[in-house]
A and B are shown apart, each in its own frame.
Chain A
């Protein structure tokens, strides 16, 4: 079955960076896009960006432009989300989610990765 498995929880200091991974299985990896979405405590879901797994093209939310980088390793069927210059407001659960591309829905989600930013 289609599955996205994310890396484990992280605790980081302000100013540091975090890299979260998302390993895909059960489908043709290059035929879909992978989005990253975060959910801070008590806040709405927030889209961060996406990567087209087939060609590696990316698009980022204006809010995170310059701080987020999404990459993929097709041989490992894994997508990575790198967020730099962390601040306390970045404390959130980070999700990867698969999409068919275009302006469409997110049909499969990873289990989420908690990132805590604290001094």
Chain B
């Protein structure tokens, strides 16, 4: 199936580190298409958080980092802060659908 799979939710206390995984397949991440990450506060538009696996746009703190290995990409957030609470989506290009696909989103709760 040409979708990306994320855990529905993750949580952590302020100051802790969390990771969010994004599992794809041989038609997207495994085909060497880059993974991108977006942060979405409910009721607002998504915001680009990480592009081309490991690159942060200007203004995104270095507490956020990305990685990719095989068919899985990951987003790590260190030094959790209350305003990190949001939904996080991964995205890649998929050759089966000849278009972009997104993960189902992961809700981050800061305890």
Binding site for B on A (CB under 8 A): 35, 44-47, 49, 59, 61-62, 95, 97, 103-112
Contact = CB atoms under 8 A, between A and B. Distances in A.
B88 to A, nearest CB: 11
A103 B33 contact: yes
B61 interface: no
19 contacts: A44-B3, A44-B89, A44-B102, A44-B105, A45-B38, A45-B102, A45-B105, A46-B102, A47-B100, A47-B101, A47-B102, A59-B98, A62-B99, A95-B45, A103-B93, A106-B91, A107-B51, A109-B45, A112-B44
Interface residues of B, number: 25
Contact of A103 (B3, B34, B46, B57): B34
Interface of B: 3, 33-34, 36, 38, 44-48, 51-52, 57, 89, 91, 93, 97-105
A110 B38 CA distance: 14
Contacts of A107: 48, 51, 57
7 closest A-B pairs by CB: A103-B93, A105-B36, A47-B100, A105-B51, A109-B45, A45-B102, A44-B104
